[in-house]
Structure 1
Amino acid sequence: MVEEAYNLTPVVAPITGMVVKRAVEPGQSVSPSKELAVVSDRLIVKTFVDETDIGAVREGQRAEFYLDAFAKEKREGRVLAISHESTQKDGVVVYEVKVLPSGGLSALRSGMTADVLIVTGNKKNALTLPKKAVKYRDGEATVSVKTSATAKLTDKNIKVGASDEARIEVTEGLAETDTVYYSTGVAKERSGFNVGF
């Protein structure tokens, strides 16, 4: 009779969700204070944003992320929350940002690693360059261009605007037809790059 009572005791989660961790195995003895499972009502993507960039991040902004397990698949979400408290990662002050994925959640697993891009702005027909083409001297942004008179490389001051991981906007100082030269990282090799939209 006691065994029947135990067998009929239901275990009910306080929320609707997905079991992300099971703490006990079937047949194992448990006490009232023992955790049986961890249930998540939603999965979120946590990322950390550098203090120099956090001012541009707002709740509700669109975010794109790539899971390491599915690196080629772009997934989307929205910024859910931005921490008011800073923390340090690798000696840099950062703030935790939570992104709520939209759709396609079946591939997500708790603890997965993701690369996150938060879309803080969008400009059409912006003149951009690879970030590595821009040098900074005394706080001024410069690029290497050839002058038509001497055909020698010379540094030209430019004004820069928004940027992402790879590219930076040029707001002043270059035309679409200018060719910018920069080091590719290979010794004694330089690449010409036509400025484009």
Structure 2
Amino acid sequence: MDKVKLKKWAKIILVLVVVIIAIVTGYKYYAQKQEEAKKPVVNTAQVQYMSMKSIVSATGTIKPVESVEVSSKITARVKQVLVKENDTVTQGQTVALLDGKDYETQKEQAEFTLQNAKTIYDRTNYLYNIGAKSKEDLDNAQYNYDTAQSKLEEAESNLSETVIVSPMDGVVIGEPVTDGTMAVQGNSNPTVIMRIADLSRKQIFAKVDETDIGSVRVGQKATFTVDAYNGKTFTATVSKISQTDMDNSWNISNSSSSSSSSSAAVIYYSVTLDVDDPEGLLMPSMTARVEIETANKDSALAVPLSALKTDKNGTYVIVIKDDGTTENRYVETGIYGDEFVEIINGLSENEKVDVTMVKKATTTTSARPGPPIH
């Protein structure tokens, strides 16, 4: 019995030893995996030459280069509009007629007044020459005659304004006013009878963010799209860059009234682009989504944007050497693309750089949150 018990205990001890060894081995394996999991995964990219271009994106509105609002210099009712929307007109063509009855009457009265003033002047001049009238009488007659002459010229001018002509070659944009509309003259808010535009030449008036305006230059090429023609790309050229922002926020006279709103607003500058539209597809007021090509190189030494890192000394990349060691190397950058950046100085072709994205640590707090940001 003693031998049987001894064998039994030996088996138990052996099983315990095996279990302990398995536990220790498993723990070591788990600990090793945990340590490996804590190590950051290093992703690398090779420094290489590629074609690169830099783009500034903007949104703008298509407008004709030349357009006019046709209005009247006199106040009168529109008698007849002789053109309609989309009609082609030429400079000097009659496009509308105003009711001129009142002005015809004014002209007839002015002619009668002038004739009467001429008769009085001739008689006064005769009497003055024979000594029967004074120089003052002659001057008064002369004044009345000159005034009547001016009144007639004014009446004739007003009557001629009842014929509305096109000031330029172009196309009637939008519906003109209807017959019977009262056309009111004025410098601030006159009645617009019709609008005429030269649609052979168009421009885009785009707004560019202040962070991008420094790289935009006159003469740069651009492409753009409009919603009306899905998948079609048009071309344009930068022709003008405004020297003031679109809100004129720098103006001292405006700063006091708009300082609170402009301080938080994004500053935009107006950029004008000449449009190529040989097919005549584009229409005024279409929204254009513009990409201005600010730089272009067929062969630029480049790395992914994720390789760039910065500190107080500047911009650097982490170079992975052949032996696995690393080096923080400061670089000079050039063209920035959507995914890559040009390296002007600091790297050589085929070197490897670290492109691992480092996540910033986050902290939690039990403090009450602040008010929502509007």
* Aligned pairs (5 A) from 1:72-151: 72-87=231-246, 91-104=265-278, 106-138=280-312, 140-150=314-324
Letter of the structure 2 residue corresponding to residue 102 of structure 1:
D
Aligned to 2:324, the other structure's residue is in SS state: coil
Report the Cα distance in structure 1 between the residues aligned to 2:356 and 2:278, rounded to whole angstroms: 41
> Which position in structure 1 is the counterpart of 2:222?
63
Give the corresponding residue for 2:115. none
Percent identity (aligned): 29
Distance 1:66 1:185 in 2: 37
CA contact (8 A) 2:81 2:179 kept: no
Larger radius of gyration: 2
SS in 2 for 1:58: coil
1:21 aligns with 2:174: yes
For 1:1-16, list aligned pairs within 5 A: 6=80, 10-11=95-96, 12-16=165-169
Q: Find the counterpart in structure 1 of residue 366 from structure 2.
A: none
Instruction: Report the residue type matching 1:34 in the other structure.
Output: T
The higher-RCO structure (CA 8 Å, 6+ apart) is 2
* Larger helix share, 1 or 2: 2
Higher strand fraction (1 or 2): 1
Q: Kindly tell me: are residues 176 and 36 of structure 1, through their superposed partners in 2, closer, same or farther at Cα, counting changes over 3 Å?
A: farther
Which residue does the alignment assign to 1:161? Answer: 334
Instruction: List alignment gaps of at least 5 residues for structure 1.
Output: 187-197
AA matched with 2:348 = A
Query: Which residue of structure 1 aligns with residue 196 of structure 2?
Result: 39
Could you tell me which residue of structure 1 aligns to residue 86 of structure 2?
none
TM-score (norm 2): 0.40
Distance across 2 between alignment mates of 1:144 and 1:21: 61
1:175 corresponds to 2:348: yes
Tell me which amino acid in the other structure corresponds to 2:183: S
Contact kept in structure 2, 1:22 and 1:36, CA below 8 Å: no
Shift of 1:27: 5.1
* CA displacement 1:117-165 (0-9 Å, x = unmatched): 323333331123444543333262233453322277x654321012345
- Residue 91 of structure 1 and its aligned partner are, at CA, apart by 2.9
Residues in 2 aligned to 1:48 and 1:125: alpha-carbon distance in whole angstroms: 31
Given the superposition, is the C-alpha separation of residues 46 and 6 from structure 1 closer, same or farther in structure 2, using an over 3 Å criterion? Answer: closer
> What secondary structure, in the 3-state scheme, does the structure 1 residue paired with 2:232 have?
coil
Residue type of the alignment partner of 2:324? T
